[in-house]
Structure 1
Amino acid sequence: MYLAELKIWNFRKYGDASMEGEPVILVNFKPGVNLLVGENDCGKTTIIDAVKHLLGTQSYDYTRIEEDDFYISNSGIRTKHLKIEGIFKSLTDEEAGNFLEWISFDEKGNTELIVRLGAKVNNHQIITNVTAGVEGLDTRFEARDLLRVTYLKPLRDAESELSSGYKSRLAQILRNHPLFAKEDNEHTLEKYIRIANSRIKGYFDKETLEKEEIFEITEGEQGAKLITQFLDDTLSAFMGISFNENNYKSFLDITRNDLSSILRKLSLNIDENKIGLGSLNQLFIAMELLLFEIETNFNLALIEEIEAHLHPQAQLRLIKYLQDKGENANEQYIITTHSITLASKVQLDNIILCRNNLAFSMGPQYTELSSGDYQFIERFLDATKANLFFAKGVIFVEGDAENILLPILAEIIKKPLHKYGVSLVNVGNTAFIRYSRIFRRKDESCPLDFPVSIINDLDVKPLICNQNNSSCDDYKYLTIPEAAINELEKKYVGLMLGCLRENKFLSLDKARRAVLRYNQIDDFKDFRGFQTEFDRTVTLNQSITVVKELVEREKRGKYETDTIKLYLNEWTMEYDIALSGLKYYIHCAIQISKKVKSDEDIINSLNLEKELEAAKKEIEEYAISKSDEETAYWIYEDLYKNRASKAVTAQYFGKLIKMHEETVKPILETDQHIKYLIDSIKHVCREGDFSE
């Protein structure tokens, strides 16, 4: 049994809904670990508190709906009603029996339990009601205690929670353990304390002690009767004859000799010496999870900011333990975190992204990620890439150079990425499609409104690269003549070839796959001989313009949605910069990179202004009789032929344009060759989305 869905109407920020209509937010949970991630104030704590209000806590924390819990609109009007609903699924026969009078059935005929909390404000008084069952037929839910959750608050005072006291959390947990179930017979701890109390009383009743080898007490050792005698004499003076009439006599003991009092005197430690907050926090979590060993049916833990006081390696061990436990036991964890370490290591389908008052589960039934995508991302999603779960927008790049340069460009155009809450994710390859599918939902009616920019190389070499190769394969594409299409359609009845008319293809394989998709078939086995005959009908053409159009169209079709935008260059980022008004800076940076590659010690003696002047002079001399494309290729050639490092080039290029920010800024705002970089920044840096 597990909490499968949580629905909220007009509770705090999740408001402006009719009680009879659809909920403002629907959160889908899974068994085991559920990790709520997202930026601050995205609703993670509200989800946790909604579950707490609905089910109550094992520690019987004081929780009640307050007036501030009712949604207030932008116009200042507060709603009068709120509702929280939880749906439990996968009930065992025993669990269904426990809730028999409230059980209902889902559309597949499986048993489910729907628990509902309703609250309303009437003359500043708040009336709440917890019911269960199908709405309209629901009745007062009297079995709520069976669903109480374990709750760990974010700012945990682990030392206090582990200590003895009247409100000892340790005592509460131990009292629920079968070992401490109170029976008629004296409990073992009560026997121990009775003996200990007797010994202590004897110590305070005697002036001298008798020899006891077991306690290493020597004959005649002083007792503490003078203390109790002083107290008795003083009290007798205070109370007069009533002291003796009531047979009063002062005594000292450890605690009252009943099990509850004894448990409240216990404290939990792992070392005789004082230990740090991190270790205390882990001990406290272990103590709370003891409840899960006691209860074998429904177990749900709500843990806020699980990373509190824990270093990254401890976080990883803890989340792995919880994942393993959740997979092998009847346990469920709903956890909030701001830790990119945890977000990078938990399984992707355990993540729930909170954004724009909605919650997006990352399970395969909700995203467009394939099983291969999940395996790939879980293999390569490191802490740096996991930043995307806590951002307001994401820019995906495919290399170190873009990763270094984009933040600098954003700073110069006054759209610093950190201010807008934008994460820059270097996928290190061209696997954009896998990462972008994280933000693509199967349910198109509930899109993830999350701006994503993908910066990608067009990867079509300019003519200048192939000027000595007139029949270069880089610019070839295929067409199928209209007459050939007509003949094939007549011969292979039932095979539709409309997708081939007036279309161009980058390869024979792409043309074949277009036919398969158009006919919604997997192969041509029912059209024997078609593939061979089709392959003979294609016409080979050559045009760099057409090839660039086809490549761009294919890439945009693969990546783009309403919120995911692809930004393409002419060939590579460095080549495009070499075409732009920033060519002096990129040429200087490339030449410095070449020098550093041959002699790293030169870094300490570099004079960037002199290097820039030399670079300008070289370009002016070279470009006298050259086209812009020829000059750009000449600048870029050292990178193209691996004589310089792209990362080092980007590093020095960034330094140079920062040094000349006032000169560079107008170029960034107007130059068409680097417009795609600036547009990618503007797409994710939405006005009003500051993260200050």
Structure 2
Amino acid sequence: MYISKVSLVNYRNFASAKFEFNKGINTIIGENGSGKTNLFKAIRLLLEDSSLHYAYKLKESDFNRALGNWRGHWIIISIEFDEISDDEAIQSLFIHGFGAVQTGSVDRATYNLFFRPKADIRQKLSELDNGDHESMNEILGGLTVEDNYEVFFTGKSNVDFNDPQVYKELVGDFEKVEFPSVIDASKFGTKIPHQLSVSKEISFTFIQALRDVVSSFHNNRTNPLLGLLKEKSGEIEVSEYEPINDMVNDLNSKIEGLKDVQQIKNDIDETIRNAVGHTYSPSALTIKSSLPDEADKLLQSLKLFIGEPNEEHEGSIHELSLGGANLIFLTLKILEFKYQKSKDVFANFLLIEEPEAHLHTHIQKTLFDKLDYDDTQIIYSTHSTHISEVSNVENINILAKKKNYAESYQPSKGLSETNIMHVQRYLDAVRTNLLFAKGVLLVEGDAEEILIPLLFKSVYGVSLDELGISLINVRSTGFENVAQLFHDDRIKRRCSIITDLDDAICDTTINDGDTDKLIKYKKSVEASKKSGLERKERIEEFVKGSSWIKSFYANYTFEVDFMNSGNKHEVKETIEDVYKDITTKKTAKKDITSKDIAVNGKRILTMANNAGKGWYAIILSNYIEEWTIVPSYILKAIVHAKDEWSTSVISSMIKFRLDYNNSNKDEDDATNFKLLYESLDSYSKKEITLNDYYTTLKTEIDDSQLIDLLKELI
């Protein structure tokens, strides 16, 4: 038996989210604050025996903030199980409590938690006339969680709680003021008898995020070693422990009988009698040794001493490195799970929250690889690209943080096995960044990977990382293998494909008298042009109709288009680094200065190929400055990749450009910077629109970089 689906409605930062799981190891990935911990809390409310009482203590703050007014709404947490065992006992449990309605045995079951208004409130709402908002608001206005809400568990539901229409049928339509008078149990599930509980029939272990492991070891309640020792203490044979018990009692007697101990006892007795007299003195006074002779208490006095790898010294937990302490904590919690797993239960679940803290990348990957137990479903949450790299893309759920809510995505949903294999092959530790990003740029080579992030940061003062954009080097033109992830059914994030058209930089007509070398060069240019056109045709067909993917092209190649966007100065600076021969240097400078693309284009490509495109990009990066021009197609790609541009981010980029222009103005510059700064302040406070600011800007300043950016953002 395994968890196949978890549905959350109105719970914490989830307005409506669905998670799909498979047998074996599953991974939840997402940025900080995206809801990984909240998902685990939801699962624990239903399946962790020690957390069940918290289900009855839900609060107003547990409602999703996107609701605005939570009153009258329901929190729904639904777990679906699949491959229910044929075991008679578990079949009895699910048929009577949770199983989907059907004859014979069940192989799928649901377990639901509803946090809802009590019956009297639901009855009042159902009696309202359609559209009577005034009466509805009067009923809802006085509701409190403490007095008017209840927790209700059901099983045997067969609906999709994430469907807005299903929610309206179950809870009601607040806009139309239509509320149900009865709930269809055949759809939404029947009440679960109090005596039935899944948590009592399964092995469930939750390993929390490793934030302060040393403190956990010092706390008797959270010390995993104590938990293991307590469990084992009850299994010790009496005959095996009796000699130890006798030794402890004998040791206590010997400690009590020490001459110095007896002397202190007598001195205390004499001093108190001298102070208050015989009448008010204690009738008896003894100093006793309190070494415990019970097995559980004696075992709890044991401490772990550990040596770091390749060291002979053994120290206590607080002496270990953070990574070493975390690894020991994880080990003990996993051992705790193993002890539970060995019991006679229907299913085994292990939830591990962000295990990567302070762990070396090799340990992260090895840990993930090794934790694969038979008959156990494991669910990790992580923001480690090293764990996501070794995760099966079919078993990944992605959390995307939005304003007041989070969305969940399944990146392989709807893909064929072949396509899944292609995606899996590409998602190494570097490229799995795209699973965490708010937007993605796909590029074909090293030059783009090296220069685009530096170029944008240098010109606009904001990095791609600050924008939440990941730039992924596909290292080929097979963009579809990765870009297919961005889809309405999979990852709902924007993706920009940046590639070259490889248009001919010269006339490729072969003329009489052309040398063999020239003919070869023309054929190569023509072949690249043909390949570029075919690539564009293929990509345009692929992105057609997509809400998320868009393609952007260099007319020629990245290097040629970069240079001819107004960056010949930067390219000329690299000549000294590329060539040693003085004559060649002079020729190269002359070629770069040429207005003929057949000349300057051939030169920069020759320089890049001679140095190696990646190495040449590193050389060129040394000369990128605030005045460098971002090619138009790259700027458009970056703007598309980011779904929402906040006022604060745009203001920061504008100010960066204004500061640059202001600090580099000459005596004849008539720009009214005071007006531009004041208008920027008004825009930052949302007193004027970006379009208003752009109108003012373009009449006052000649900064193509800033003007081009705002054109794209408006």
TM-score of the pair, normalised by structure 1: 0.70
**Helix, strand or coil for the counterpart of 1:566?**
strand
Instruction: Indicate conservation of the 8 Å contact 1:592/1:649, yes or no.
Output: no
Match of 1:92 in 2: 85
**Helix, strand or coil for the counterpart of 1:307?**
coil
Q: Deviations over 1:382-441 (max 9, x none)?
A: 32222212211111111110011111332214553122111111122223221112334x
Q: List gaps (5 residues or longer) in structure 1.
A: 16-23, 208-221, 477-541, 603-610, 669-673
**Helix, strand or coil for the counterpart of 1:317?**
helix
Instruction: Indicate conservation of the 8 Å contact 1:164/1:265, yes or no.
Output: no
Among residues 184, 194, 213, which one is paired with 2:245 in the alignment? 194
- Equivalences for 1:423-502 in 2 at 5 Å? 423-440=470-487, 444=488, 446=489, 448-465=491-508, 467-468=510-511
Instruction: Indicate conservation of the 8 Å contact 2:97/2:193, yes or no.
Output: no
- Equivalences for 1:552-567 in 2 at 5 Å? 552-559=536-543, 561-567=546-552
**Helix, strand or coil for the counterpart of 2:22?**
coil
Residue 543 and residue 301 in structure 1: after superposition, are their counterparts in 2 closer, same or farther (change >3 A)?
A: closer
Deviates more, 1:299-308 or 1:354-363: 354-363
Distance 1:30 1:239 in 2: 78
Deviates more, 1:431-440 or 1:131-140: 131-140
Among residues 281, 293, 297, which one is paired with 1:261 in the alignment? 297
Instruction: Indicate conservation of the 8 Å contact 2:229/2:296, yes or no.
Output: no
Match of 2:112 in 1: 116
**1:7 matches 2:39:** no
Instruction: Indicate conservation of the 8 Å contact 2:485/2:491, yes or no.
Output: no
Among residues 378, 383, 390, which one is paired with 1:333 in the alignment? 378
Distance 1:403 1:362 in 2: 24
Residue 453 and residue 230 in structure 1: after superposition, are their counterparts in 2 closer, same or farther (change >3 A)?
A: farther
- Equivalences for 1:231-242 in 2 at 5 Å? none
Match of 2:439 in 1: 393
Match of 2:99 in 1: 104
Q: Deviations over 1:465-502 (max 9, x none)?
A: 555499999999xxxxxxxxxxxxxxxxxxxxxxxxxx
Residue 386 and residue 227 in structure 1: after superposition, are their counterparts in 2 closer, same or farther (change >3 A)?
A: farther
Distance 1:238 1:617 in 2: 110
**1:305 matches 2:354:** yes
Q: Which residue identity is paired with 1:102? A: G
Match of 2:567 in 1: 582
Match of 2:204 in 1: 149
- Identical amino acids, percent of aligned pairs: 24
Distance 2:560 2:577 in 1: 16
Q: Deviations over 1:46-105 (max 9, x none)?
A: 211111222235588967422211123374555642111111112222343454522424
Instruction: Indicate conservation of the 8 Å contact 1:393/1:421, yes or no.
Output: yes
Aligned length: 558
Match of 1:180 in 2: 234
CA RMSD of aligned residues (A): 4.0
Match of 1:345 in 2: 390
Question: Residue 352 of structure 1: CA displacement?
Answer: 1.5
**1:32 matches 2:6:** no
Residue 270 and residue 241 in structure 1: after superposition, are their counterparts in 2 closer, same or farther (change >3 A)?
A: farther
Instruction: Indicate conservation of the 8 Å contact 1:204/1:223, yes or no.
Output: no
- Equivalences for 1:188-337 in 2 at 5 Å? 188-189=240-241, 191=242, 193-207=244-258, 224-227=261-264, 249-255=286-292, 257-271=293-307, 272-274=314-316, 275-294=320-339, 295-296=341-342, 297=345, 298-322=347-371, 324-325=372-373, 329-337=374-382
Match of 1:530 in 2: none
Q: Which residue identity is paired with 1:675? A: S
Distance 2:277 2:193 in 1: 55
Residue 370 and residue 575 in structure 1: after superposition, are their counterparts in 2 closer, same or farther (change >3 A)?
A: farther
Distance 1:173 1:239 in 2: 51
Q: Deviations over 1:215-256 (max 9, x none)?
A: xxxxxxx674445555676788899789987x774421322x
Distance 1:452 1:239 in 2: 90
Q: Which residue identity is paired with 1:202? A: S
Match of 2:667 in 1: none
Match of 1:51 in 2: 43
Residue 321 and residue 53 in structure 1: after superposition, are their counterparts in 2 closer, same or farther (change >3 A)?
A: same
Distance 2:35 2:47 in 1: 19
Question: Residue 114 of structure 1: CA displacement?
Answer: 1.5
Q: List gaps (5 residues or longer) in structure 2.
A: 118-142, 158-187, 308-313, 653-714
**Helix, strand or coil for the counterpart of 2:66?**
coil
Q: Which residue identity is paired with 1:146? A: E
**Helix, strand or coil for the counterpart of 1:418?**
helix
**Helix, strand or coil for the counterpart of 2:11?**
coil
**1:66 matches 2:115:** no
